[in-house]
Structure 1
Amino acid sequence: MLNRRTFGKSLLAGAATLSAPSLLRAQAGWPSRPITYVIPFNPGGESDVTARFQQPFMEEITGQSVVITSRPGAGGATSWAQLNSLEADGYTIMNTIVPHTILQPAMKDVGYQTADINNVFFFHYTPDAVLVRADSPFQTLQDLIDFATDNPGALTMGGSGTNTANHLASVIFGDLTGAKVTYVPFSGSAPAMTAVLGGQIGGGMSYTTQAVRAGDQVRTLAVATEDRVAALPDVPTFRELGFDHVGGAYRGVAVPAGTPAAVQQQLSDVIGQVNANPEFQRQMTEAGYQVVDIPLANVPAFIEERQGAYAPAIERMRG
């Protein structure tokens, strides 16, 4: 598992050179005007929410406005395929997600390759969570596993699209437990949750954030974190239940290829400073997110590690 401790040393080394916003602005002249932050999904989803958590802190550090704009399409692929056609000057940045940017090009032609995405920082992950409606007969994860094992394919579990973190989680879940569920893709995690609450599907291959938002309308059976989630203290981790699964949707920030190296480093440092802010950490934790520090220098190793981790599931998804 990649966490704050693993990647903290590089972050601290970079942050130490950026003791004041004026120093940031002085180097390479960046930023001297507003920054556009592109979210490749609809407003209100996890990517949009966390960008808006970041926004005021980024503005305070840089002294410039950060304008958030949504450009949804094809589970993020539409925007990611256009990333490198944008001006490479550091004034347009884009939200990215792993495993999406690994799974999508591995499964079909989506107009970009994983290596085309120039990430400068991954700042959190949204942990996987298995949840059902509060009146579901499944009281525990084992109840759900037993039913899905005895009735292969009968249990429908919704998630955010195909070739996404939720889709991957459903494959990993089957591998770990032997349970056979039918994954139902929706256009986002929120629509999938609506279907769970409406009883159209049996449960959700979802995120801790959706569980926090839904509150007592759902029963969360397990979360994919190393330790229990502060916002869901009564929910066991997969590892507590005997299943070695820690993961979810890792969200980061990327810039177009050709963006000056100094600007990439400064942007990485800005996001690291935001991550270090106690108020930002509080907001993220209360909403069910897990803050991680994966700065520019560590991004290649992170992507390589994730590609290796996802490879077996990708083969099964192709099959």
Structure 2
Amino acid sequence: MTTPDAGAPARILVVDDESQNRELVEAMLLPAGYEVYLAEDGAEGWAAAQDKKPDLIILDLMMPGLSGFEVCARLKTDPKTGGIPVLFVTALSQIGDKERALAAGGDDFLTKPFQRAELLARVEALLKVRHLNRDLERALAYLYELELARHAHRPKQRPVPAPPVPGAGVILVVDDQPLPRQLYADVLREAGYVALEAEGGVQALETTRQQTVDVVLLDIMMPSMSGLEVLSKLGELIPDSPVIIVTANPTSDNAIAALRLGAFDFIVKGFKNEVMLSAVSRALQRRRLATRNRALIHQLEDKVQELLATLREHAEESNRLTARPPER
């Protein structure tokens, strides 16, 4: 099977610590016209995935050192490899093993021993899904560019924002592209929010260190520091502030990885203003609920400490009375 780009053969990376297994899978794939790369353990497979950018990875689950579970989890959380489908091949057949493999981000599961026809069918199906996702991403990106161009040809005067509604919330918009960033921020300001802008991950993190941010609107595809990296760090800096991911493709592995990393929600580029405002409103409700719950927990902890202090005082008084010599 070929890739849709220039008719080149699809590239498949086979990762297995058993040489006979690697060679067997390679022998099954080569006659079908695939370009095959081999890696003998998880660490080598991870490095090869970064270097070769294959169209599909066939990954053994049980390997010494870096296991297939760990390799897959790393691949799926890295923006450069997150979209590569992973076919797990293993002798394990327990339902729990399959669930764990799929939870790690695997796209399909093949149990040893298997027939060549079954392997080729799984490979072809995953490659078709991969190609369809790429086509969808291109189409969405094209529509997004058209929408930006439409806004760019509007009069340059930016709308006068309404004064912030007291307690409406502070929203941080993070996008390396100035036009969509300004559009999102303008819509938020018109709705009465305080909208801050950051042109990348570093500036976004610095902003959250300097002032309170209630909700973050985060583009997932950015140079230098990706949206997934920013999301992970925001979870440490402002754990109670929900993050809404902006993505061109909600079915991509990056969007799924973002939800696994704790993103509150995602919205698809080209959205109507009402969609963004609704997501922000729900995120603020969650933020306020989390803040209120945290305050209640602190109050409860203070009450418990007060009660413990009172009990200690009573215990000390009781000990003093007990230790006092009896009156004659």
Q: Which TM-score applies when normalising by structure 2?
A: 0.30
More helix by share: 2
More strand by share: 1
Structure number with higher relative contact order (C-alpha < 8 Å, ≥ 6 residues apart): 1
Q: Which of the two has higher C-alpha Rg?
A: 2
